[in-house]
């Protein structure tokens, strides 16, 4: 398992991309709508460490209150079903069972940490041969 990105909720994607790229020097990677979640996301990346931040704008949330910014932590896993079974056996709570986003190639699921922080588990699609 390896950490992929940290997702934060933002009120304005353009403003946040400008801040993270212009002020902090991160590199813009991509931006796309997620219609099934009524959201839009953009990724910025630290060129030194490679760590990515997912900026998430929820279309149904016009305001972001202090303390609501952390959206989720994302980890890549090789076998989503095995990791979920192991997590369940250790008492972890599953917030969303495995599914695919439209346009996505891998599967994702979400766990909750003890304080209800969402943990995204991402299993990439098998490589084409």
Model confidence over 59-103: pLDDT tens digits?
A: 998 788 777 788 888 999 999 999 999 999 999 999 999 999 888
Amino acid 115: pLDDT:
67
Please give the Cα distance from 108 to 101 (Å, whole number): 8
Delimit the domains of the chain by residue range. 1-71, 77-129
Amino acid 73: pLDDT:
87
pLDDT band for 51, please (50, 70, 90 cuts). very high
Q: What's the gap between Cα 38 and its chain centre?
A: 15
Q: What is the CATH number of domain 77-129?
A: 3.10.180.10
Mean of pLDDT values over 49-61: 92
Name which CATH class applies to 1-71: alpha beta
For β-strands 118-123 and 93-99, DSSP reports them as unpaired
Please give the Cα distance from 30 to 42 (Å, whole number): 6
| Domains 1-71 and 77-129 belong to one CATH topology | yes
pLDDT band for 129, please (50, 70, 90 cuts). low
Residue numbers annotated as active site: 120
């Amino acid at each position: 398992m390896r950490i992929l990105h940290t997702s934060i909720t933002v009120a304005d994607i353009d403003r946040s991309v400008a801040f993270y790229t212009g002020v902090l020097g991160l590199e813009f990677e991509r931006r796309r709508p997620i219609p099934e979640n009524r959201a839009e996301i953009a990724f910025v990346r630290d060129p030194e460490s490679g760590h990515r931040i997912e900026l998430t704008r929820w279309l149904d949330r016009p305001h972001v209150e202090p303390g609501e910014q952390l959206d989720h932590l994302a980890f890549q896993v090789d076998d989503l079903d095995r990791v979920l079974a192991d997590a369940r056996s250790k008492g972890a709570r599953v917030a969303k069972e495995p599914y695919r986003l439209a346009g996505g190639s891998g599967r994702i699921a979400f766990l909750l940490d003890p304080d209800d922080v969402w943990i995204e588990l991402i299993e990439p699609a098998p490589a084409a041969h």
